[in-house]
Amino acid sequence: MKAVVCLIVVFLSAPPFVRADDQTISLPELIQGAQQFAQDNLDTNVLNALPQVNDEQVRQFLADIQTQFQGDYIVDLAALRQTAQTVLPLLAANEETQPYAAWLKAHMDYLEVADEIKISVPPPTIPSTNQIVPPVANPPPQKQREIWVKQVSTEPWPEGAKKYVPELKPVFAAQKVPPELVWLAEVESSFDRRAESPAGAAGLFQLMPDTAKRFGLSLWPHDQRFQAEPSATASAQYLKQLHDRFGDWRLALAAYNAGEGRVQKLLDRYQTKSYDDIAAHLPAETQMYVPRIEAVIKQREGANLEELSAPPG
């Protein structure tokens, strides 16, 4: 239970937090809100198990979680699933933390798929005494694409998609980007424009502050990342720039998630122009992010990512 509560605090705690209404919320205020919710909703035994934490501990927990998502092995994410299921309703019940609940909800599929992979992949051979147990290998890219097609095939449209897909497809088309890529927002935020990540990304398309400013968005006095059309415009412009650079939508999406510098270094190191050749060397989240978007576009639009083309004109 202690680990659960620690993770609750982590998701409340990337300092300094700024809500969509631009009111800065301090770390103590967020923790106090979580503790008040616990007092109102949890039983005495749970309350007695609540640990005392300070700012330094919270930041360390946050660093640990970011490390998990940026790690090498997908199955390592499986350990977060049960805790995340506990954390999610607590975040959703607190007004100040609902943006982080929106972010976590959009990322639950990663944890579910990681858990399924952990169950389905045979454990590594146990070495002889005093040898390190080898990690569980990641599924190859094609296998991951198959896994995500199965995962997405039973999922309904996110509620916000009914509003934002027809509204934002013309925005993507105006930037000479395939309009089907508007479904990026399902993977990034589940079409909830309130979503904020612990790392600082925000909005439908989870733009980081530097990326948002790079493509002309204002972060103050009103953060345009939380506005549907401006954020869609910036996202489409960034995707076009990435595709112009890499000439491939899988690579462009990998760069959108992991950073263009990292993708370029891997392409140079392995002397390739293929996503599949570098996939195993990308962060665990990115390894699932690209096939997840492929599967979403296939399910929602009946289109193949690699066959998408920009609108004429």
**Nearest alpha carbon to residue 201 among 99, 288, 110, 126:** 99
Task: Please answer whether residues 282 and 251 qualify as being in contact, where contact means their C-beta atoms are separated by less than 8 angstroms.
Answer: no
Cβ pair 119, 263 in contact under 8 A = no
Q: What is the largest CA-CA distance in the chain?
A: 66
* 249 class by beta-carbon count within 10 Å (0-12 exposed, 13-18 middle, 19+ buried): buried
24 DSSP β-pair partners: 18
Cis peptide before 141 (omega within 30 of 0): no
CB atoms within 10 A of CB 154: 7
Determine contact, residues 93/41, Cβ cutoff 8 Å. yes
**What is the H or E stretch that residue 25 is in?**
strand 24-25
Which residues are CB-neighbours of 278 under 8 A, at least 6 positions away? 254, 263, 266, 267, 270, 272
188 is annotated as an active-site residue: yes
SS3 132: coil
User: What is the distance between the alpha carbons of residues 266 and 299, in angstroms, rounded to a whole number?
Assistant: 30
Amino acid at 88: L
Residue 56 tokens read as: 């330094």
Which one of 180, 186, 188, 196 is the catalytic residue? 188
Residues paired with residue 207 on neighbouring β-strands, in sequence order: 202
> If you ran DSSP here, which 8-state letter would residue 196 be given?
B
Structure tokens that stand for 28 in this block: 């103590």
For residues 231 and 242, what is the distance between their CA atoms, to the nearest angstrom? 16
- Catalytic residue numbers read 188
